[in-house]
Amino acid sequence: MEKGGDVNGSSARQLMSQMLVEKRNNLAPEKVGMRCEGARRMHGLSRRDVAQIADISFNHYQRLEQGTSVGVSAPVILRICDALLMKDEEKARMLALHQAWARPRRPQAESRVAGSQAAGEISGRQRVSSSGV
C-alpha cells in the first residue's frame, strides 16, 4: 500500500491481482467441495474453477486477475471472495482495493487547466452581462 493507506487505481489492480492469485493457488479444490478425479497439474484452484464457483465468466475472472478488467461490480467481488473462502478482513481488503480501482480520477494537470479556463469564461460572462452587452 502507498503511504497513508491510500492506493491509486494501478496499485489497487496489482494488489488485487496478487491477492486473487495467492488465494486461488493456496486453496485446495476439496476445500470448496470439488472432487478431484485423476491427476491435476496444479495444487490450488484453476481460474476456471473460481469463475464457475463465483458464477461469472472465465474471461471476466481472468481479466480481473490479470488487472485488465474494466467494469467489475462490488457484488461480483464479493462472489469471488466467497468462492475463494476469504475471511471477513480479506473481503474488506478486496472491497477497499476495488473501490480504489473503480474510483473515477481526473489527472491533476488537466483539472487545473480546465478549472482556470472555466473561471476565465465565467468572469468573461460576468463582465459582458454587467456591461449590458
66-107 confidence digits (pLDDT tens):
988 777 899 999 999 999 999 999 999 999 998 888 765 555
Among residues 38, 37, 57, the alpha carbon closest in space to that of 47 is found at: 57
Percentage of the chain exceeding pLDDT 70: 65
Q: The domain containing residue 76 runs over which residues?
A: 3-102
Q: Clarify whether residues 132 and 73 are in a common domain.
A: no
Q: Clarify whether residues 56 and 85 are in a common domain.
A: yes
Residue 55 sits in a domain whose CATH number is: 1.10.260.40
Q: Clarify whether residues 111 and 83 are in a common domain.
A: no
Half-sphere exposure of 52 (CA within 13 A, CB side): 9
Cα-based angle 66, 80, 53 (whole degrees, multiple of 5): 110
Q: Are 101 and 12 in contact (CB under 8 A)?
A: yes
Q: Is the pLDDT of residue 25 over 80?
A: yes
Q: Are 42 and 25 in contact (CB under 8 A)?
A: yes
Model confidence at 4, in pLDDT bands (50, 70, 90)? very low
3-class secondary-structure state, position 124: helix
Q: Is the pLDDT of residue 44 over 60?
A: yes
Q: Clarify whether residues 12 and 69 are in a common domain.
A: yes
Half-sphere exposure of 80 (CA within 13 A, CB side): 31
The pLDDT, as a whole number, for residue 107 is 56
